[in-house]
Structure 1
Amino acid sequence: MCITKLTTAYVFLLLVGVAILVVISIALNAATLGVINKRFDEIKNENGQTTSKTTVSAGPITTSTTRPPISFNLVDSIRIEDLMNHLNELQRIANNTGNTRAIGTRGFTETVNYIYNYLANNASGLKVFREPLSVQNFTIKGNPILISSINDMNKTYTYSTNLARSDFTYVNYSASIDLTKFNLIIVPNYGCDKLDWQNVAGRAALVVVGGTCTNAEKSELANIYNASALLYYNHGLTTTSLAPVIVRLRQANKLPALFLSYAIGQELVNAANLSNVSIWLDVQRENYSSFTIENVCADTIDGNINETIIVGGHSDSVPAGPGINDNGSGTAAILVLATNLARLYQSGNYTKYRYRVRFCWWAAEEIGLVGAIHHVQQAQSPFASSDCRLQDYLINLNYDMLGSPNYMLGIYNGSSAKPDTPSQAINGSIRITEVFRNWFNGKNLPWDYTDFSGRSDYGPFLAAGVVAGGLFSGADETKTSEQRTRYEEKLGQGQGGLVGAILDPCYHRACDTTDNINQLGYEKMVQAAAYMLEFLGQKDDLMTWLYPNGRPKPRLPDEYFPNSDYFRNIDI
């Protein structure tokens, strides 16, 4: 079922939420926001060393003590103060709950309650519901062990939670194994072809990450061809791909698995090319229990439920920090879009869309798009409720990381979708890219294309054949000199950012706080998102515009799994 009814406990929470929000609103509206200067006192590289010390201006921010009348279009209703008020609330939640809003923590539970209660109290005309789902725990007991034997010489490798100083680390959803010896075999190429795995039976298979397949897909091939253990190693093609990283396999994985640094992986490859190599492996998994988390969605009451626009982003952070940019910025943006659209609908001066709009906050993106995948799988079930069917979803708009301090105004490039993307979703996704691009050009703003490989919560929708698009201000990408020049030409001197620095130096770190938000870039991104929603909502025949060649019934393939190569938690 898509819809969960309010319980007595929820009603109580709503009343408490009203009182809290009134106090917070008074305090925040009384504050004066000045010019925001983003100071990177210590931007650290992957080795934890200081690489630069400088200032990035976020631009002037204005404020008022009274809310202006609601605008008559969605773009003009977007105010940075409203966005920052929500981010301040998410920061407060993190401050009071161990500096994190990751799933399985009180911080995440309070985040979900905040979203739900705020909508219930401030978005009249929206139908708000929770969507529970179950996630399996994964906890390592003690330290994993890795020992090699090369020419009868044993070597024990270093494990540390500080990945920059570790030779290897565990893999999420590795199976347990007591200390056991295996002969090592090197998987050729990237291990993306069945032929690469023909000789792995009964051995520990060592494979480099990358290629055209995900780590999870490699583990599936290792299982099919009866490998006894699986060792990944980093590819070493850049300075940020030398250390081991934590990746995630399917929860049903049956193989013990570790992830090695580039240096250790290459050492074993070189040794195996000259002689027989054995390894000893020990991994102890402590917790196989499950716990419940929740997506939150809110529907416009008006509009055809058989033609639905979904606007989504994830609500969770990584364990390492409060996740205010990743993805408090998307969470707040969608809250403002939802409440402002509801107010416009209530104003009587705004033409309601012929389409239903569903706003969703997905759980557990940081461990592999779990909440979004669950929603898509439920929506394509033959038992799905009539108001929650995948075939009724025309488009998914995704907003993940919109306020990066050294930002780009990034547009998902529909032309760069993965080769196996259903063809019916391509034309519409390219059109969405063009609409965003035209808006930025019309406002004389710089922009960049960004990856469209399914890395965020739009992934399962796109893989099912639903048109997708969205915005992204950058994570661990590096700003180029060309980008800075182009941004300064459009935005003014000092607004181009830092050449050679990553776009979000606090990506997946404890410093991802409200101080990590570039308010100038953030406001422009949310205005672009507002324009897109209004543009689509006012289309007379959105189905034909998005699917000019027709639309087969969408379906997520059974073998779908997100690009888990990106899901890592680096603790430096």
Structure 2
Amino acid sequence: MRSGVIRGLALSAALALPLAYAHPAQADPVPSQKSLITSVAASATKKHLQALQDIANANGGTRAAGTPGLLASRDYVAGKLKKAGWNVTLQPFDFPFFKENATASMERTAPTPKVYAPTPPDGSSVGDFATMTYSGSGNVTAALQNVDLMLPPGPTPSSSNSGCEAADFAGFVPGNIALLQRGTCTFAVKAQNAQAAGASAAIIFNEGQPGRTATLQGTLGGPGVTIPVVGASFDVGQELSAAGTAVHVVTNTTSEIRTTYNVIADSKYGDPNKVVMLGAHLDSVLAGPGINDNGSGSAVDLTIAEALGKIPTRNHLRIAWWSGEELGLLGSTFYVGNLAADQLAKIKLYLNFDMVASPNYALKIYDGDDSDQSGAPAGPPGSDEIEKLFEKYFDTIHQAHNGTDFDGRSDYGPFIAAGIPAGGLFTGAEGIKTAEEATLFGGTAGVAYDHCYHQACDTIANINDKALALNLGAIATAAVVYAFSNDLPGPAAAATTARKAAVAPEIGTVR
């Protein structure tokens, strides 16, 4: 092994976890802290990943928010945390749950029969029509009735206001299926107006201008509409608008408000006014078990929590396992939004770990200083220092790395919006690996970092052990460094550095 690599953290009989010590300006791990870092074993992380896989296997192949698989994942994590000495809070919040239980069907029954191709629930292909998110369920055969359509299409996008006003349904025959066109108002308004007029179902088709002809795959925004609502392409809608058309449409969905939970673990030690926070989302998508996305980040954080739970630290450690990330960062947004200003101010930094073991990985560090000068801007002051810590870790073990933007796709988003310094690691999702990255990290250029992203094949077999090991070492180092640091990142640390620089000429050196 290279100099500075620590032995004994076996990932398997063939792979050991290389741990080196970062030496950021604000803190150097002392021997006792180095011992803590080496106690974080990758074998434990793999056991947690297997446990999450077993939970998914026992719960329909998913650990999504609002499902028994997420509740079982919550209980597993909470139980391990309590045993490790943490104070654990289960933070409930409500959210709009939707699941398409079976592939929808739609066929024209008059004047001549025709079957239309569906878009399946997993989105693996796009058909002639698609069930709208938060559609109701039903099995309906009825005459189709046009509602204020604009055929041919209007001159500009959103020229149509079909179904946007109750007056559009004057003369609508209750029990008919409403044929509506995209434009002006939301799909939800159109569907709600159709339901109020007595429609047994609604078909909303695209407008017809360039770029607005494909099958609509839209959302109604939340539960409330109980009739079937599907989106269709412009060509299908125009075809169905012919006089004398009748349609048979079937949807099978669950659309309701459910409760899910964040798991928040607080150390019993450390300065409560200086909170060092780590986080990872625990939920998967409905389509699969989510073992890389994001069992990997969840399992790494749990492994670190087990190592540090009973250790008196200088700063207060808090670790969160979020729910609802896959639905739009719901859990982390709820958490940050419900903190009082004084409690928010105590969080000095937030480290996010989402997908840290992608099979065709690149070792990506969130770009806290906008050094790539492209895409999203820098994070709040102090984010640059977090980036440098991870860079120094990988440089120490002579491991290549590159940057990734704060693009808002994970749970650092609400913390950045609140002005909290943030950082983290990421190994890639559906994006395509470049030739340069293949040279740096191995793997295959021209294909996705994670070919099983948001799919049923995101199982424990989708984990890259080397990426997991490298990131676990970096994350353990960052957690310990910041747990004991006298000089945390952020505006206060920057001010201290500036004051030291100002007096340096007088005292001869900065200590």
* Superposition deviation, residue 505 in structure 1: 1.7
Q: Is the 8 A contact 1:74 1:534 kept in 2?
A: yes
User: 5+ residue gaps in structure 2?
Assistant: 1-7, 19-30, 165-179, 195-202, 497-511
Question: For residues 62-101 of structure 1, what are the structure 2 equivalents within 5 Å?
Answer: 72-101=34-63
Question: For residues 99-178 of structure 1, what are the structure 2 equivalents within 5 Å?
Answer: 99-121=61-83, 123-124=84-85, 126-140=86-100, 157-161=116-120, 163-167=123-127, 168-174=129-135
* Superposition deviation, residue 340 in structure 1: 1.4
Letter of the aligned partner of 2:454 in structure 1? H
* Structure 2 CA distance for partners of 1:304 and 1:103, relative to 1, 3 Å: same
Secondary structure class of the residue paired with 1:535: helix
1:432 alignment partner, one of 380, 383, 386 = 386
Letter of the aligned partner of 1:34 in structure 2? A
* Superposition deviation, residue 84 in structure 1: 0.7
Which position in structure 2 is the counterpart of 1:374? 334
1:396 alignment partner, one of 345, 350, 365 = 350
2:453 alignment partner, one of 479, 496, 507 = 507
Letter of the aligned partner of 1:128 in structure 2? V
* Structure 2 CA distance for partners of 1:170 and 1:430, relative to 1, 3 Å: farther
Secondary structure class of the residue paired with 1:379: coil
Q: Distance in 1 between matches of 2:349 and 2:461?
A: 33
Which position in structure 2 is the counterpart of 1:497? 443
Which position in structure 1 is the counterpart of 2:412? 458
Letter of the aligned partner of 2:399 in structure 1? L
* Superposition deviation, residue 154 in structure 1: 11
Q: Is the 8 A contact 2:135 2:253 kept in 1?
A: no
1:445 lines up with 2:445 in the alignment = no
Which position in structure 1 is the counterpart of 2:222? 251
* Superposition deviation, residue 471 in structure 1: 1.1
1:290 lines up with 2:248 in the alignment = no
Q: How far does the alpha carbon of each residue in 1:234-267 deviate from its partner, in whole angstroms, 9 at most, with x for none?
A: xx99xxxx9979676643787997566xxx56x6
Q: How far does the alpha carbon of each residue in 1:481-506 deviate from its partner, in whole angstroms, 9 at most, with x for none?
A: 2211122xxxxxxxx01222211122
* Superposition deviation, residue 231 in structure 1: 5.9
Q: Is the 8 A contact 1:409 1:472 kept in 2?
A: yes
2:322 alignment partner, one of 346, 355, 362 = 362
Q: How far does the alpha carbon of each residue in 1:371-398 deviate from its partner, in whole angstroms, 9 at most, with x for none?
A: 2222122224x8xxx8xx3333232211
Q: Distance in 2 between matches of 1:32 and 1:543?
A: 32
2:469 alignment partner, one of 512, 523, 529 = 523
Q: How far does the alpha carbon of each residue in 1:164-218 deviate from its partner, in whole angstroms, 9 at most, with x for none?
A: 44323233235789865342587999xxxxxx657646465648xxxxxxxxxx9
Q: Is the 8 A contact 1:70 1:344 kept in 2?
A: no
* Superposition deviation, residue 293 in structure 1: 1.8
* Structure 2 CA distance for partners of 1:333 and 1:176, relative to 1, 3 Å: same
Q: Distance in 2 between matches of 1:96 and 1:327?
A: 18
Secondary structure class of the residue paired with 1:100: coil
Letter of the aligned partner of 1:169 in structure 2? A
Question: For residues 178-189 of structure 1, what are the structure 2 equivalents within 5 Å?
Answer: 181-182=146-147, 183=149
Q: Distance in 1 between matches of 2:242 and 2:324?
A: 39
* Structure 2 CA distance for partners of 1:140 and 1:222, relative to 1, 3 Å: closer
* Structure 2 CA distance for partners of 1:312 and 1:143, relative to 1, 3 Å: same
Q: How far does the alpha carbon of each residue in 1:44-85 deviate from its partner, in whole angstroms, 9 at most, with x for none?
A: xxxxxxxxxxxxxxxx3489xxxxx98635443332211111
Which position in structure 2 is the counterpart of 1:316? 283
Letter of the aligned partner of 2:279 in structure 1? G
* Superposition deviation, residue 536 in structure 1: 3.0
Q: Is the 8 A contact 2:367 2:384 kept in 1?
A: yes
Which position in structure 2 is the counterpart of 1:193? none
* Structure 2 CA distance for partners of 1:175 and 1:376, relative to 1, 3 Å: farther
Q: Distance in 1 between matches of 2:181 and 2:492?
A: 44
Q: Is the 8 A contact 1:410 1:450 kept in 2?
A: yes
Letter of the aligned partner of 2:13 in structure 1? G
Which position in structure 2 is the counterpart of 1:537? 483
Which position in structure 2 is the counterpart of 1:34? 13
Q: Is the 8 A contact 1:312 1:396 kept in 2?
A: yes
Question: For residues 224-239 of structure 1, what are the structure 2 equivalents within 5 Å?
Answer: none
Q: Percent identity?
A: 31
Q: How far does the alpha carbon of each residue in 1:418-450 deviate from its partner, in whole angstroms, 9 at most, with x for none?
A: 9998x9x53333332333223222321111222
* Superposition deviation, residue 108 in structure 1: 1.8
* Superposition deviation, residue 548 in structure 1: 4.9
* Structure 2 CA distance for partners of 1:320 and 1:542, relative to 1, 3 Å: same
Secondary structure class of the residue paired with 1:172: coil
Tell me the TM-score normalized by structure 1.
0.63
Secondary structure class of the residue paired with 1:136: strand
Letter of the aligned partner of 2:296 in structure 1? S
Which position in structure 1 is the counterpart of 2:293? 326
Q: Distance in 2 between matches of 1:141 and 1:96?
A: 18
* Structure 2 CA distance for partners of 1:258 and 1:34, relative to 1, 3 Å: farther
Tell me the TM-score normalized by structure 2.
0.70
* Structure 2 CA distance for partners of 1:376 and 1:500, relative to 1, 3 Å: same
Secondary structure class of the residue paired with 1:358: strand
Q: Distance in 2 between matches of 1:320 and 1:419?
A: 30
